[in-house]
């Protein structure tokens, strides 16, 4: 479904992505792991049109999508979750969901004046959809809560919920588990599996929690130093010597840096 060919992304002289090639099969939950600074988020950002690549190509099916802006990818069903923007934190959870689909009739002054009934119909439909999404995610009791009052994990669920307000085909999740407690992480994992099985969503997710990766992902791709190091089943990847070495390597480097800084 997604093919990335020989992707390079340089920041000045630094090669964050250094010839990475990956494939994400339709219907899969593909995991992307690797030590800090491996280039995982950079790869996501290039695929999602947030950063232009230095070189390399990205395809969605047969269509080249390299460098397309996020809103065009959004219309093709390629979504990446974003943290809930500051200005939306004073809106309710339900309102945050209702905001997602663009092109509502209520947006223009003309429509505000002349198409009141159409707007009311659309709002009712959006509200219904938002409530279905909240129920699916088991956070319907939070519909009227201000988004800013949610816990970290509940915010992640809301971010996932935003992808359900439109017809997503593939969703990119960067560290959904970061700072989330075990119970909510399980709920998030369950929601991902159900979206994959029941709605045919393809996922690609970056995560440092290996239990989470092991439960959800097949295949798992490991990156290190801007390149793909290994691809395979979670259990194989976690025992792969190159993978272990990459993690240990940065661990040692970080410790050396910390030591140098301290002394």
Ligand X SMILES: Nc1ncnc2c1ncn2[C@@H]1O[C@H](COP(=O)(O)OP(=O)(O)OP(=O)(O)O)[C@@H](O)[C@H]1O
For ligand X, give the closer residue by CB, 141 or 253: 253
Question: Among candidates 209, 185, 16, 175, which has minimal Cα distance to 83?
Answer: 175
7 and 19 in contact (C-beta within 8 Å)? yes
- Binding-residue total with ligand X (CB under 6 A): 11
User: 77: buried, middle or exposed (CB in 10 Å: 19+, 13-18, 0-12)?
Assistant: middle
Site residues for Mg ion, 20-49, by CB under 5 A, read: 41
34's contact among Mg ion, ligand X, none, with CB below 5 to 8 A by partner kind, is ligand X
Helix, strand and coil in the chain, % to nearest 5: 45, 25, 30
State the minimum distance, in angstroms, from the CB of residue 41 to ligand X.
3
For ligand X, give the closer residue by CB, 16 or 188: 16
State the minimum distance, in angstroms, from the CB of residue 226 to ligand X.
7
For Mg ion, give the closer residue by CB, 162 or 207: 207
- Binding-residue total with Mg ion (CB under 5 A): 1
For ligand X, give the closer residue by CB, 143 or 178: 178
Contacts of 58 by beta carbon, 8 Å cutoff, 6+ apart: 2, 3, 4, 5, 7, 46, 47, 64, 65, 66
For ligand X, give the closer residue by CB, 41 or 66: 41
Report d(CA 27, CA 232) in Å as an integer: 16
- Per-residue contact track with ligand X, 23 to 52, x per CB under 6 A? -----------x-xxxxxxx----------
Residue 104 engages Mg ion in binding (rule: CB under 5 A): no
Report d(CA 216, CA 193) in Å as an integer: 7
Residues that bind ligand X (CB under 6 A): 11, 14, 16, 34, 36-42
């Amino acid at each position: 479904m997604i093919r990335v060919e020989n992707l390079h992304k340089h920041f000045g002289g630094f090669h964050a992505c250094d010839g990475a090639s990956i494939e994400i099969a339709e219907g899969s939950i593909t995991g992307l792991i690797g030590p800090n600074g491996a280039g995982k988020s950079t790869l996501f950002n290039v695929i999602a049109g947030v950063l232009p690549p230095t070189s390399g190509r990205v395809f969605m099916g047969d269509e080249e999508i390299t460098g397309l802006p996020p809103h065009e990818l959004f219309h093709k069903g390629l979504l990446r979750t974003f943290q809930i923007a500051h200005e939306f934190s004073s809106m309710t959870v339900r309102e945050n969901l209702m905001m997602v689909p663009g092109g509502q009739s209520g947006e223009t002054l003309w429509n505000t004046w002349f198409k009141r009934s159409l707007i009311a119909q659309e709002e009712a439909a959006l509200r219904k959809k938002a409530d279905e999404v909240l129920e699916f995610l088991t956070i319907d009791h939070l519909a009227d809560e201000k988004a800013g009052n949610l816990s970290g994990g509940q915010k992640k669920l809301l971010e996932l919920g935003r992808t359900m307000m439109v017809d997503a085909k593939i969703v990119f999740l960067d560290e959904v588990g970061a700072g989330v407690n075990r119970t909510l992480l399980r709920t998030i994992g369950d929601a991902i599996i159900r979206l994959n099985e029941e709605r045919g969503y393809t996922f690609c997710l970056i995560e440092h929690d290996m239990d989470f990766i092991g439960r959800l992902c097949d295949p798992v791709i490991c990156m290190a130093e801007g390149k793909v190091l290994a691809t395979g089943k979670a259990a194989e990847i976690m025992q792969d010597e190159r993978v272990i070495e990459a993690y240990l390597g940065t661990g040692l480097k970080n410790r050396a840096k910390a030591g140098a800084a301290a002394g």
